[in-house]
Every structure is written in structure tokens, then in C-alpha cells.
Chains A and B, each alone.
Chain A
């Protein structure tokens, strides 16, 4: 079995943050006696990712995704636990490590605002000490893959958000990193641009065998790129496995879509079969409990003149939402009482 590209064991990150009530008196009190409390952003996370694997890292805002990615990239020092990426301890921030990774944070600009992206690319070539021939080859390859064309010759400030994200993504990968931490890489982009970035990441992964850990609130990103997902909430992992089994594990329901044959009675009451979600162009969608789905499907086929019938898992967004909803109901208070005063 190959050595994992990313190894994380019992990783924790606790921030100590100042707290005070609003108002003048509270401001004066905090001047004399500052209160702090501990926020457990990541609480004992463990997982491994194999070389070349593309994994979705899912969770609501504040779940601990970005904090985990920052610890993996070396931007944050873990409070405790073990992290190894490509055999390196990220918090040491060795140049040899930084040369093998990249982190793309949506809406963060690392290019020179006033100059064409090509100038920034040259600077990155120098910073990463890339051989000019290899750099040019990679750059031209990315320009073609992302259909950048003349965008790299315009000042970055003149580009639209989508165009800027494309040139930014190319910039982040020019040194051909082996591990990609992508934190909301498509945030704020239109559907076409999202697809372009997605297909680029997929192609990069295919060509260079890179390992990818991706966070995104757009499930289309995750579905297009990731076979495996890790779901995190309140700093803890709720699910780690194939995206396909997520629905099986957490989706309590199935959706049965029925289309009746022509000439079938127009007014049929589907309520006895399950919760009717809607009807469109002769196709009726019914939600039923996962365990009841085969039975209900059988009854529908028996009772009615069915032309077509499909049993589907609910949309992945709904499944994820139900995972978080379940976890929230069980989760302990996330931010305990002030733990220390200074």
C-alpha cells in the first residue's frame, strides 16, 4: 500500500479569543481585566488521503474546514495532533514542502493588480526557482487548458471575477504542486466559469497525479470531482467515505418518479403511496422512506398503468443538510465558558 499523501491523526486547533460585553462599562472593565475564552475550531480530526486522490471536504460555515486546510498547508500551527503531507510536517514550512503544495482561496488575489498576469507569472517562476523551459511549457499548457488567451496580457484589475479566478488558478499551479488545497475555488463564479475551473482541476489531477482536497459549498464541484468526501461539523468528522454511500448512510428517504401511460386517469391520489413532492409533464415525484421504497414501487406498478418508474436518492444538498441537521441536534455546546482570564 503506498504511503498516504496526507496523514492526519487526532488533529486539534483551539483558539483563545478575547470576549467582552457591549457598552462603555464593559469596555472599561476589559481594560483592567481581559477575559478570554477558548474556541475549539478542530476537535480531533483523523484521516488519510492517498496520492492522486481527489477528496471533498464538506461542512457548513465555521465547521473547521478552512482551519484544517490552513494547518495542512503550514499556515496554522496545530494545538495538538499529527499532520504529515508528502512526508513533511507542514508547520515547519520548509521550502521543499512549500514548493510541492498550493492553496487556492476563492476571492483572494495574489496577482499584481495593475499589471498583466504574465508579469506575475514571471515573478512566481523566480520565487519557485522554476527552470525557464519547464515554466514556459506549463504556463502555455495552462493558458490553453483554461482558455486564457489574451486575458493574461490585460491588467488584472480589468478582468471580471471569473476571468480573474481563471488566471489566479493558473498562477497557483504554475510550479506544478503535488498537493492542492482548494478552499472554495469557484465561489461567486457563474455556472460556466465554475465548470471551466472544475474541468481544469480534473485535468490537472489526471495529468500530474496530484492529490486534491477541496472545500466547496457548490455540490456540483464535489459531485464532478470527488469520489470520496469527508464531512466535518463542529470540528469533528461526521462522515468519511464514498460520496455515493453518503446518501445511503444519511439519506432517510428515496424519491420515486412515476410517469403514467397515455390515457391513464387524470386524477389519481398518490398520497397513500408517500409524500407528493410535485408533478410536471405527467411525471409525479413521491418521497418515501428508504426502507419502504421497493414496496411502494411494487404497489405503484401493480395499481397503476406505469410507463416509467425510477427510484432516486435525494439531491446531495438535501443529504448533506440532513447530516448537519442531525449533528447539530446531537452536538455539545461548541464554545465553553471563558476558560482563562489575563
Chain B
């Protein structure tokens, strides 16, 4: 029987990385990522995990190490937040076209300035187009679970792409939750050792990271784009296998009370649990409100998203990052693009909320739904605002 243990989510994440039997861990400390990496360094130092722990002088180097070790055929892990991710961003764009299956947890934190250590999604949105598979988690169990399938998915010969697991900083990373640990034998069965397609080895010399002339660059990008888009079918297949093993089935788009709802909240990450409480309260009052949670951010699951939302009259999309000077938050932009070609699609009202870790409670979600419904009723079909700003 699987053991259920109360533990800090960052520690659970590190335990998952240990159970995934990684070969190389490289990281540079930054709040709120630190507990994940600290715990991993202890596991390596205590001999509980047979891996190379490579402390480096910056996040740019941390991912460079993982890129190199992955190219040599090692299962590699890194973890970062905020400014660290910004410094690492150059290498994120290199890892994916090289098709190296690195897995990274981002303990999501606000990008400066002003300096803030608290949670929002501005860090990962800054590398939105880096070509990694990107998923968002809602609770500690999901963070723990996602590590296992992330490696199996990343290393699948039909996929071979790096994976980012987003975990809301502090809100998830620093809370203690009951985590159901999976037995090691099951993990070992689910996650076979990494068998690289190509790797750096003196007996079979290859060149990785060669330059491309304009006459071939577009072909390389098309190949990368197709690889990321077509990973969706593998993601579904592996989530099914993971569900069959654990009883926990994951979907690109998760729904709650959504089927018959006129108004749908759309969230990503830890917002989902709070929003579901708000949905329960509104349902009790007889309101037709449901919830749609985006788990898979890249590749964006357009068909699944449309299926979940096209019957609604309005979507209240809650972003956790600002796209300054843009058309609204990044999630809302994506949602509007997804729906634009559909006749009679729902109206999208967009709030940016909870930036820099400001609490968003169930009553806040209710207030946002109230406001959106009134605004849309009054004819505002392109609403966008930063929620709760003092004026």
C-alpha cells in the first residue's frame, strides 16, 4: 500500500527526484526554490541518492551543466525561481531544440522590480516560448506525481523534449501537505532508465549545437514546433499509464462543475483549489458557475480547451502575471486566440490577480465573477483589469 505522509511540498518534490533516480543535479540557490535543492544535496551527501550534485556559480551554469550532462546521456534535474530563471533563460531556449530531456521544477516567484520573493507567474511567462513542455500544478501531490511522468515523457524517443513543472512558490512549495508516496518498485517499472537516441560519446562522435545557415534554420524550427505539438498524444498516453498505476488521472484541461455552467472561471496553478471553493459557494446560491483549470500550458491543448468552454456564455480568466502594454494577461490572450475562430464563443473577461503573492481568497473569486458578469451584461466584451488595486 502507498504510504501517506505529511511533508513539505518542496521536500516531496526532492523525494520524487530521488525516486526518479536522477544522475545529475545542478542548481544555484534562490528563494523559494531552496528547500528542493537543499534536500537533494543532503540525499546525495548521505549516500541515499547516487548522483552527481554539482553546485555552480549561477543559474546560467546550472542549466548549462544539465544540458551537458543530458547530452552525455545522464538523467538531469534542476530547479529555480524568478531572477534565477531569467538568468537561465538563454539556455532554456537551447535545451529544447537540442531535444535534451532535462526536467526542471520552477518554484514560481515574481520577477523584479520591485524586488519581491513571493509568488506569481511572471518568471515562467518570460520564457513562455522556450519550447519546453510546461505544466502547472495545483497541490503537493501533483508536484510529487508530475516528476515521474515528466521524465518518462521527456525521455520517450517520440518526444525528447525538456519539461518544466510549475509549482507556485510558498503557496505550494513551503506548505506541509499529505503526500501519498509511490512504492519504489512501481516507479522503477513506470520509469525505465534513460536510453538516449544520440549522446556525446568518444566511440560515436556527433556534433550537438551546430550552427544553422538561413537556408536551413526555418526547417529546424518547423521540426521543433511539430515535435512539441505532437507530444500531446504521448502526454495523454503517459498520464493514462500513470493513472492506471496510482489512481490519479491527469488531464490537459481539468474541469469542476463546468459542464452546464454559464460562467466559467479559468485558472492555472494553485488558484484552482481556492477557486473550486468559490464555485461551491456560488453553486449553493444557485448560480451557474464552474471552473476550468489549465494544467498543460505548452503545448497548449486547444481542442480540449474548446471542448471544455464552448458551451459557456462567459469565461472569467484569472491570470497571475501582467503582460505590460499587451492585450491582457498571457493566459487570457491564449484563451482569446483559442476561441477566436469559433462561432458564438464565450465572452472573455480577464483579471490579473494574486501577483507578488497577494492572497486571493474564495470571496475574491466570487467578487471577480460578480464584476465580470455585470460588465459583460453592460456590453464590455474585452474586459481586462488588475484586481484589487487601491485607487
Whether A associates with B in a native complex is no
Question: Measuring CB to CB, which residues of chain B are less than 8 angstroms from any residue of chain A?
Answer: none
